[in-house]
Amino acid sequence: MTRIIDGKVISAAVKERVAKGVAELKDKGITVGLAVIIVGEDPASKVYVANKKKACEALGIISEEYALPENTTEQELLDLIFELNNKKSINGILCQLPLPRHLDEKLIINSILPEKDVDAFHPHNVGRIMIGDYDFVPCTPAGIMEMLAFENIDVEGKTCVVIGRSNIVGKPMGMLLLHKNGTVTICHSRTKNLKEVCKNADILVAAVGKAGFVTPDMVKEGAVVIDVGMNRENGKLCGDVDYDAVFDKCSAITPVPGGVGPMTIAMLMQNTLTAAKRQNS
């Protein structure tokens, strides 16, 4: 019997934990604050920012939104980040990606103080993830690890395959699985014999951005399948996994929507709380 890993249930548990932590800090006179910067009018980004604001309000986190016009200069954005870096009431800074093309994404990310980098994209935090001594992890991989722990899915000794090598999901996902003693392979567009590699996986994480990419002939009987994909096909949200076709082969699987998606914002809230705790000793 295939188990559906419900991201809504697990994210609710994380948010409950965060709300409790925020309340405990508040009792000590400490507020938790998150600043979200959005540049331009990207519709998907606007939805994400609205959802983050809503989550903050529900958990008692102060949310400051900075909506900047598309033609904002690099210096104007850097000046804002400098101001927020020095603002004591702000514990976390998130700059919504993607940025307009005239802005240097790398420069902007690197200008956020590592201790306020709740997305964990700064090279300092990436390096700490590499050595296994970190405060923050990018929110989607962090959410996946939370899901595996919640479902009592042990990573140790398992063959783990991650499809996708992005800095946001694929690479940190591989490191987190490795830190839990999984044997990890990261696949990408140049991987040879991809189907055979995937079919050996006890835990398969699909983060490739192509609807229905993972088919039954790529999935081992009894595997745990984690679908990170958020694609639109015929106006419908779907993942990187051909869910219906793969379902019966899995021991556990995440749906889209309702799987990994809700975890990403929950873990952002967790990272923001962690930042507040670290900054207030």
For residue 176, what are its two tokens? 């987190």
Can you name the residues that pair with 252 across neighbouring β-strands?
A: 3, 224
Residues 174-199 as b/e (b if ≥16 CB within 10 A, e otherwise) read bbbbbbbebbbbbbeeeeeebeebbb
List of E strands, 120-271: 159-163, 183-187, 203-206, 223-227, 231-233, 236-238, 250-253
Name the CA radius of gyration of the chain, rounded.
19
DSSP string, 39-102: ES--HHHHHHHHHHHHHHHHHT-EEEEEEE-TT--HHHHHHHHHHHHT-TT--EEEE-SSPPTT
For residue 165, what are its two tokens? 């090598």
Active-site residues: which are they? 52, 96, 119
